[in-house]
Amino acid sequence: MRIHVKTDIGYRGVEMPRRFRLDEREVEVIENVDQWQGRDYRYFKVKGDDGNLYILRFNEGRADWS
């Protein structure tokens, strides 16, 4: 599922998710719980302002989120 993510530049110049849109809902990221690097992707485990945990995947080569 592709999503629209708004980011800020974090530590060491890494784009960090700050809010994202799922369907018609906008979710504000209130905590970056974890992040890790895959072979072609960077993953972020975040807590939304709705109380849910989400795993966001950033394709660094194509610069898109899912």
DSSP H or E stretch at residue 64: strand 64-65
pTM: 0.86
Token code pair at residue 3 = 């999503």
pLDDT one-digit tens code per residue, 33-57: 999 998 889 999 999 999 999 999 9
DSSP assignment string, 15-59: EEEEEEEETTEEEEEEEEEEEEE-SSEEEEEEEETTS-EEEEEEE
Q: Is the pLDDT of residue 1 over 90?
A: no
pLDDT one-digit tens code per residue, 8-33: 887 777 788 999 998 888 999 999 99
Q: Is the pLDDT of residue 5 over 80?
A: yes
pLDDT score for 14: 74
pLDDT score for 63: 82
